Structure 1
Amino acid sequence: MDEPVSRQSAMPPPGRIGEVLQRAAELYHRSLVERSAGRELLRHLGLCDEALIERHSIGFCDGSLLRALPTRGPVRGELHAVGLITVAEDRPPVERFDGALTFPVCDIDGTTAGMYAESGRPGEFTAALPDLPRPVWNAPVAKRCAEVLVTASILDALALERAGVHNVAAAPAPVPESELVYLEDLGTRCVLLGSEVSEAQAAGPEPSSRLRIHLPGRLRPLEFLARHGADALSRAVREALERTRTGPQAPDGDLTLRCGRRVYTVYGLSKGPGHLRATVRAEQHGRLHVDTLNLYRASLRRRLCSDLTRLFDEAPEIIDADIAKLVLACEDREPEGHRNAAVPAAMSAEERAAAEAFPS
């Protein structure tokens, strides 16, 4: 017979809380990988993608956590204390997130600090553990992106990732305002996507300091993905940002080249025998790289390709093709100084006669 769980279990110390959550997240993840129910739910939502599943350790709560627990020992009490299992009068313990997808939440340094769950049912949003902090989901993205799109639902954030928009995070209500301020203190600009993100979060450190964007029809990203597909969702996000962006923009360069979701801007173009020098600014949904190089040097092009492949999480052949297009565009472009050089005015007949008559 299972050992009863006290409804007044003591909260484990902070270090142990992270261990308990991590172990539970690993078990939920294994349940999703090894059984069909969780994958079927992801497939129904259009999010059954191996890279997403592994990147975010997505799991599925199907009762296997309770079945795997030892009948004796402190573990059940710890799980109850952190909120993963609940105990009601005269009823056996149950798992709080039963039948839902689970998402471990890491702090900015990658340490497990919480857990969220979503059922995927219409009208239902993210469930959280009641007695633990509620950090922003996918907060570590702020360490590598200058701008982060914040949704109210993790499923919406995953839909954006499916569309190639990787600078995403989720702030399920009621995430404390301080969590978003913390990301902004790291130098990241938080852009709220959708009306579901709470007004308290929209207020920001100062009134109206955060930009809010909407997709066409005010659809959630998950709905937009299901109706229109990944490419259309990526394009809609980019266009929404371009329409409403109010912050300082990059100055106009010698040329701008768009390759899918990637935007290349060239500054200080200099052409000559054996050299094609420029400063290249590459950006994709908040991920930014700037490099100054001679585009005719194969070794420097390879280095740029390697850097952008890692940053944008794209195949090397795709980035290599981008760079080839960039070289051709630069070759066809006249440098700024040449374009602005004054063109001598044509000499009038009177001026020509006066010049010819001038004593030599």
Structure 2
Amino acid sequence: MLSPQWLDQLRTRITLSALISRSGVRLLRAGREQKACCPFHSEKSPSFTVNDEKGFYHCFGCGAHGDAIRWMTDHQGLSFMDAVKELAAEAGLDVPAPDPRMAKAAEKRDSLHDVMAEAQGWFVHNLTAPGGEGAQAYLASRGFDAATVQRFGFGYAPEDRQALKGALSRFPEPMLIEAGLRIVVEDRDPYDRFRGRLMLPIQDARGRVIAFGGRILAKDKTPKDSGAPKYLNSPDTPLFDKGRTLYNLHRAAPAARETGRLVVVEGYMDVIALAAAGIAEAVAPLGTALTEQQIEMLWRHIETPVLCFDGDAAGQRAAMRAITRALPLLRPAHSLRIVRLPQGLDPDDLIKAQGPAAMRAVLDEARSLIDVLWETERDAVPLVTPEDKAGLKARLMAHVEAIAHPDIASLYRRELTDRFSAFAFPKRDSGWSNQSQPRGRPGRNGRFGQPAPAPSSPESLERLRRASSGGARDSLAAAVIAGLLRWPAQIAQHAEMLARAPSLDPRLALLVDSVDAGEPLESEHLATILAANGLEVPGPAAYSGLRFGFLGPDATLEQDGPDLASAILILVERPMLEAALKAATDRHIHEFTEESFAEQQRLRERMLEFDARLRHMAARHAASS
């Protein structure tokens, strides 16, 4: 039998880009990926990408997606077993003898698409069969009529751990595992991934089923696994990469061409609620924040898509995360507009309460990206002191620094600086007192010739300061992740701060996404999510140079939680201050005005406040050691 482990070993020994290049596809380097015009359909600009790290190729135009084996079957026309044999010969591996079922499947040229299509038919059959009454009742409670149920392909997965395997017995188990329908666990028999759930097919740009989403039907009737998530999606497979897939795009794209608008909502049930209300141009990401690849997919259809977020705190964090992902990608005429629904409402709630016209009215009032960025940062924390205002300026400028396009970055800097100046220094008070400051040329290191105060720097303070800059920031991020995994409830506590970071460790981003998606707050469960996304749980070696109290074996939330909060603040905001201070210093050198000097000094004062926090942390460590 070709085990999943052996197939994974085969994939890791093949460099996908080299394999594809040998087939005559001319790949060009684009960051961590390589791009080309898609070999599966005709196009003038490249939308086909190859990622050797993930071992997948993907086309944003036609939806072609797969690994090395998939390339050999779909592009080279080989059967599954012939593809495996050819790749194994290249990799220097011996092919285990397949069992009779595997050989039979290869002869019939069954593919993962065949597996998914048959699974979808089985789920749909179960919905109206005995046992599917609960799923039907849920759909009725959501107000979905028979046409909507049929159009979106709702189905039902029974509770039995082996039901799908029996129903799809003509396919060998390795294919069911590879398709994400079965789970293999060490020292246990494989079992069905989806059990006791309302099922929904996820389709590619061609309308082919590539994955599934499953929803628990009732809180008092969950799968036997404790802590099961409310929504469960297929894992990444040769057919499915959740970061490169938008639910319902194959239906929404044609509708968007008619309406001139493409709407992004938080989940697939929101998409269906909008479609039932006559708004067909809606898509959704799949359990994660909107990715850079998904933003590019949206821009291939509409230059300024509308992001629609729920009116709760998680929705606001999702909006900010989308903004920070989009800023480096902005280019002329391509941006985002953003809608925030009324507090506590999702699209379905609003439609039921006020009707489809109210939803359309909200979408028509979508705000520009820069408006939402400004208002979110302005309202993030109370702005009482000059230090608070300097922190706001630092955060705004850090976002500007993330914009790659020079013209757009310049325009954002000018616009946000003007808004900040009007807000922080109204005309009645310019924020600069000529009576209190002597005229003259300011010294480069202080206020008009006076040396700037220097923070004290004991060894412990210096160690913490170094942890917030440069490559050591990775160690600080690892320490914060370890602390959050120890006390998972703190993720929600600090999600607002983490969501505002212009650049965030992908592990932290995934933890925030998981909490916002309603995942169970259990260390083991969150660690499994990280592993499932190819991300490592940091071990002590990753933060060995740091001595935070919350990393100790006897740490308690009551005693060491404040240090974790301070470490998060340092990780997120101090780099933003550093970037803003550098930009302010550069401007002051070139402009040399009172305003530029005042801005530089405000940021220096904010940095001193951070140093005071670091000193406090250092003192805590010294007292407890």
Does TM, normalized by the shorter one, top 0.5?
Answer: yes
SS in 1 for 2:166: helix
State the match for 1:178 in structure 2: 293
Q: For residues 90 and 52 of structure 1, what CA distance do their matches in structure 2 show?
A: 42
Distance 1:194 1:82, change over 3 A: same
2:282 to 168, 188, 198: 168
Q: 2:283 corresponds to which letter in structure 1?
A: A
With a CA cutoff of 8 Å and minimum separation of 6, indicate the structure with the bigger relative contact order.
1
Distance 1:49 1:180, change over 3 A: farther
Q: For residues 61 and 176 of structure 1, what CA distance do their matches in structure 2 show?
A: 29
2:330 to 206, 216, 219: 206
Q: 1:127 corresponds to which letter in structure 2?
A: N
Q: 1:17 corresponds to which letter in structure 2?
A: L
Distance 1:58 1:152, change over 3 A: same
1:81 to 156, 178, 194: 178
Q: 1:149 corresponds to which letter in structure 2?
A: V
State the match for 1:24 in structure 2: 119
Q: Is there any run of 5+ residues in structure 1 with no aligned partner, and where?
A: 248-360
Q: Greater helix share, 1 or 2?
A: 2
Q: For residues 22 and 9 of structure 1, what CA distance do their matches in structure 2 show?
A: 25
Distance 1:222 1:124, change over 3 A: farther
Distance 1:17 1:32, change over 3 A: same
Q: Please say if residues 157 and 169 of structure 1, whose CA atoms lie closer than 8 Å, have aligned partners that are also in contact.
A: yes
Distance 1:69 1:89, change over 3 A: same
State the match for 1:10 in structure 2: 7
Q: For residues 177 and 147 of structure 1, what CA distance do their matches in structure 2 show?
A: 19
Q: Please say if residues 150 and 168 of structure 1, whose CA atoms lie closer than 8 Å, have aligned partners that are also in contact.
A: yes
1:14-39 superposed Cα distances (whole Å, 9 cap, x missing partner): 65222222221121112113332321
State the match for 1:216 in structure 2: 342
Q: Which moved more, 1:233-242 or 1:115-124?
A: 115-124
Q: Please say if residues 264 and 284 of structure 2, whose CA atoms lie closer than 8 Å, have aligned partners that are also in contact.
A: yes
Q: Please say if residues 338 and 368 of structure 2, whose CA atoms lie closer than 8 Å, have aligned partners that are also in contact.
A: no
Distance 1:166 1:76, change over 3 A: same
State the match for 2:366 in structure 1: 244
Q: 2:307 corresponds to which letter in structure 1?
A: L
Q: For residues 139 and 186 of structure 1, what CA distance do their matches in structure 2 show?
A: 10
Q: 2:306 corresponds to which letter in structure 1?
A: V
Q: Normalized against structure 1, the TM-score is what?
A: 0.57
Q: Please say if residues 319 and 338 of structure 2, whose CA atoms lie closer than 8 Å, have aligned partners that are also in contact.
A: no
Q: For residues 111 and 234 of structure 1, what CA distance do their matches in structure 2 show?
A: 30
RMSD: 3.1
Distance 1:69 1:22, change over 3 A: closer
Q: Does 1:136 align with 2:193?
A: no
Equivalences, count: 237
What percent of counterpart residues are identical? 21
Q: For residues 349 and 172 of structure 2, what CA distance do their matches in structure 1 show?
A: 39
Task: Report the CA distance between 1:5 and its aligned residue.
Answer: 9.5
SS in 2 for 1:13: helix
Q: Please say if residues 5 and 87 of structure 1, whose CA atoms lie closer than 8 Å, have aligned partners that are also in contact.
A: no
Distance 1:177 1:29, change over 3 A: farther
Q: Greater strand share, 1 or 2?
A: 1
Q: For residues 154 and 9 of structure 1, what CA distance do their matches in structure 2 show?
A: 34
Task: Report the CA distance between 1:55 and its aligned residue.
Answer: 1.0
Q: For residues 234 and 68 of structure 1, what CA distance do their matches in structure 2 show?
A: 40
Distance 1:129 1:6, change over 3 A: same
Q: Please say if residues 190 and 211 of structure 1, whose CA atoms lie closer than 8 Å, have aligned partners that are also in contact.
A: yes
Q: For residues 218 and 175 of structure 2, what CA distance do their matches in structure 1 show?
A: 29
Trace 1:1-360 onto structure 2 (pairs within 5 A). Answer: 6=3, 8=5, 10=7, 13=70, 16-34=111-129, 35-44=132-141, 46-62=142-158, 63=160, 64-70=163-169, 74-119=171-216, 124-125=230-231, 127-131=233-237, 132-134=240-242, 135-140=245-250, 141-145=252-256, 146-174=260-288, 176-187=291-302, 189-195=304-310, 196=315, 197=318, 199-202=320-323, 203-204=325-326, 205-206=329-330, 209-225=335-351, 228=353, 232-244=354-366
Q: Please say if residues 350 and 359 of structure 2, whose CA atoms lie closer than 8 Å, have aligned partners that are also in contact.
A: no
Q: 1:206 corresponds to which letter in structure 2?
A: L
Distance 1:81 1:154, change over 3 A: same
Q: Please say if residues 108 and 143 of structure 1, whose CA atoms lie closer than 8 Å, have aligned partners that are also in contact.
A: no
Q: 1:154 corresponds to which letter in structure 2?
A: Y
Q: 1:214 corresponds to which letter in structure 2?
A: R
